[in-house]
Chains A and B, each alone.
Chain A
Amino acid sequence: MKTRVVSTTINGDATQLLCEPRQTLLEVLRDTLDMTGTKEGCSNGNCGACTVIMNGRPVVSCLVLAAEAEGAEIRTIEGVAQGGRLDAVQSAFLEGAALQCGICTPGFIMQSEALLESNPDPDEEAIRFHLAGNLCRCTGYDKIVGAVKEAAKRRNAEC
Chain B
Amino acid sequence: MTALDRPRYKVIGTRPVRHDGVDKVTGRAKYGGDVRLTGMLYGAMLRSPHAHAKIKRIDTGQAEAMPGVRAVVTGQDLPDQGDRIVELGEGATNMRYLSSNVLARDKVFYTGHAVAAIAADNIHQAEAAAKAIAVDYEVLSPVLDVRGAMADDAPILHDHLRTTSPTGETETSDTPTNVATRLLHEKGDVEKGFAEADVIVEHEFETATVHQGYIEPHAATAHWNADGKITIWTSTQGAFTVRQQTAELLHVPLSHIKVVPMEIGGGFGGKIPAYLPPVVAMLSKKSGRPVKIIMTRAAVFQATGPTPGSWIRLKLGATRDGRITAGDATIAFEAGGYPGSVIGAGVGCLFACYEVPHGRVEGLDVCVNRPRTTAYRAPGSTQVAFAIETVIDEICEQIGMDGLEFRLGNAAQEGTRRVDGPVFGCIGMRETVEAIRNCEHYRTPLEGKFRGRGIASGYWFNAGMRSSVSASVNTDGTVSLIEGSTDIGGSRTSLAMQLAETLGITAEAVMPTVADTDGVGYNDVTGGSRVTFATGMAVVEAGKDIQQQMVARAALIWDVEERHVHYTDGSVEGPDGHRLSFEELAAQQMTTGGPFVARGAVNAPGQGGAFATHVVDVEVDPETGKVQILRYTAAQDVGTAIHPSYVEGQMQGGAVQGIGWALNEEYWYDETGDLKNATFLDYRMPTCYDVPNIETILVEVPDPAHPFGVRGVGEVPICPPPAAIANAIHQAVGVRMRQLPMSPPRVLDQVMHTQS
**Do A and B actually bind?**
yes
CB contacts (< 8 Å) of A30 on chain B: these are 33-34
Would you give the shortest CB distance from B645 to chain A, in whole angstroms?
4
Interface positions, chain A 89-111, Cβ under 8 Å from B, are 90, 93-97, 99-106, 109
How far is A77 from B23 in the complex, measured between Cα atoms in Å? 11
Q: Is A43 an interface residue (CB 8 A)?
A: yes
Q: A97-B645, A100-B653 are in contact. Are A137 and B685 (CB under 8 A)?
A: yes
Q: Is the pair B687, A135 in contact by a Cβ cutoff of 8 Å?
A: yes
How far is A78 from B263 in the complex, measured between Cα atoms in Å? 18
Q: Is the pair A37, B653 in contact by a Cβ cutoff of 8 Å?
A: no
> Which residue in chain B gives the minimum CB-CB distance to A133?
B687
Q: A94-B25, A101-B264 are in contact. Are A138 and B691 (CB under 8 A)?
A: no
Q: Is the pair B25, A136 in contact by a Cβ cutoff of 8 Å?
A: no
| Residue interface mask B142-181, A partner, CB < 8 A = 1 | 0000000000000000000000000000000000000000
Would you give the shortest CB distance from B214 to chain A, in whole angstroms?
6
Q: Is B84 an interface residue (CB 8 A)?
A: no
Q: Is B408 an interface residue (CB 8 A)?
A: no
Q: Is the pair A41, B25 in contact by a Cβ cutoff of 8 Å?
A: no
Interface positions, chain B 631-656, Cβ under 8 Å from A, are 643, 645-646, 648-656
Would you give the shortest CB distance from B721 to chain A, in whole angstroms?
11
Chain A binder among B13-21, B109-117, B462-470, B737-745: B13-21
How far is A69 from B381 in the complex, measured between Cα atoms in Å? 48
CB contacts (< 8 Å) of A20 on chain B: these are 124
CB contacts (< 8 Å) of B653 on chain A: these are 100, 137-140
Q: Is the pair B18, A41 in contact by a Cβ cutoff of 8 Å?
A: no
Q: Is B185 an interface residue (CB 8 A)?
A: no
CB contacts (< 8 Å) of A127 on chain B: these are 688
Q: Is B679 an interface residue (CB 8 A)?
A: yes
CB contacts (< 8 Å) of A142 on chain B: these are 648-649, 652, 693-694
| Residue interface mask A32-48, B partner, CB < 8 A = 1 | 00111111111110110
CB contacts (< 8 Å) of B691 on chain A: these are 140-141
Q: Is A143 an interface residue (CB 8 A)?
A: yes
| Residue interface mask B13-56, A partner, CB < 8 A = 1 | 00101101110111111110110100000000000000000000
CB contacts (< 8 Å) of B213 on chain A: these are 137
Would you give the shortest CB distance from A67 to chain B, in whole angstroms?
15
CB contacts (< 8 Å) of A97 on chain B: these are 15, 18, 490, 643, 645-646, 648-649
CB contacts (< 8 Å) of A143 on chain B: these are 645, 648-649, 652
Binding site of A, secondary structure by majority: helix, strand, loop or mixed? loop
CB contacts (< 8 Å) of A27 on chain B: these are 123
How far is A158 from B268 in the complex, measured between Cα atoms in Å? 40
How far is A133 from B646 in the complex, measured between Cα atoms in Å? 24
Would you give the shortest CB distance from A48 to chain B, in whole angstroms?
9
Would you give the shortest CB distance from B374 to chain A, in whole angstroms?
16
How far is A145 from B690 in the complex, measured between Cα atoms in Å? 13
Contact of A101 among B216, B297, B685 (CB under 8 A): B216
Q: Is B705 an interface residue (CB 8 A)?
A: no
How far is A128 from B36 in the complex, measured between Cα atoms in Å? 35
Q: Is B226 an interface residue (CB 8 A)?
A: no
> Which residue in chain A gives the minimum CB-CB distance to B33?
A40
Would you give the shortest CB distance from A129 to chain B, in whole angstroms?
6
Q: Is A131 an interface residue (CB 8 A)?
A: yes
How far is A43 from B26 in the complex, measured between Cα atoms in Å? 21
Q: Is A80 an interface residue (CB 8 A)?
A: yes
Contact of A135 among B22, B26, B655, B680 (CB under 8 A): B680
CB contacts (< 8 Å) of A103 on chain B: these are 31, 214-216, 265-266
CB contacts (< 8 Å) of A34 on chain B: these are 36
Q: Is the pair B215, A137 in contact by a Cβ cutoff of 8 Å?
A: yes
How far is A140 from B652 in the complex, measured between Cα atoms in Å? 5
Would you give the shortest CB distance from B652 to chain A, in whole angstroms?
3
Q: Can you list 12 A-B contacts (CB < 8 A)?
A: A38-B27, A40-B217, A100-B649, A101-B215, A101-B216, A102-B20, A102-B263, A134-B687, A135-B215, A141-B691, A142-B648, A142-B693
Using A40-B217, A76-B27, A131-B689 as known contacts, list a sample of 8 further A-B pairs with CB atoms less than 8 Å apart, ordered by residue number in A: A42-B297, A101-B264, A103-B215, A104-B215, A109-B25, A132-B688, A140-B652, A141-B656
For the complex of A and B, 6 pairs with smallest distance between CB atoms = A37-B27, A103-B265, A140-B652, A102-B24, A97-B645, A140-B656
